[in-house]
């Protein structure tokens, strides 16, 4: 599950949280791990009842498991690539 959006901000984070909440099994609870991005802690965030946000300490990328995903994508799927259009970027990211 994921969203491909042309920007990141509080509205995008709210959409992402709503999508996570939508696909959580009934009776289950999700705990997304968040870094220090501004939109991860915005006052305007709407956190659904079946989600609890877990904020990592500052300057601790080694604790963030998604950093491994980004490193793998940069090294293997999106490396040394020039894409000419927005649609080509979206397609490459979705394929990766």
- In this structure, are residues 35 and 56 in contact, taking their beta carbons and an 8 Å threshold? yes
d(CA 50, CA 44): 18
The DSSP letter of residue 51 is B
pLDDT at 61: 72
Domain residue spans in the chain?
A: 1-54, 65-96
Helix, strand, or coil (residue 69): helix
Q: Could you tell me what percent of the chain has a pLDDT over 70?
A: 99
Q: What is the DSSP string of 2-48?
A: ----S--SHHHHHHHHHHHHHHSPTT--B--EE-S-GGGS-TT----
pLDDT at 1: 61
For the chain (length 96 residues), average pLDDT per consecutive 10?
A: 82 94 96 87 94 88 77 84 88 85
């Amino acid at each position: 599950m994921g969203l491909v959006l042309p920007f990141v901000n509080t509205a995008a984070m709210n959409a992402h949280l709503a999508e996570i909440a939508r696909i959580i099994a009934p009776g289950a609870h999700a705990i997304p791990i968040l870094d220090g991005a501004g939109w991860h802690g915005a006052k305007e965030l709407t956190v659904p009842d079946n989600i609890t946000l877990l904020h990592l300490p500052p300057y601790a990328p080694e604790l963030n498991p998604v950093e491994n995903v980004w490193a793998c994508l940069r090294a293997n799927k999106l490396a040394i690539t020039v894409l000419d259009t927005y649609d080509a970027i979206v397609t490459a990211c979705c394929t990766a």
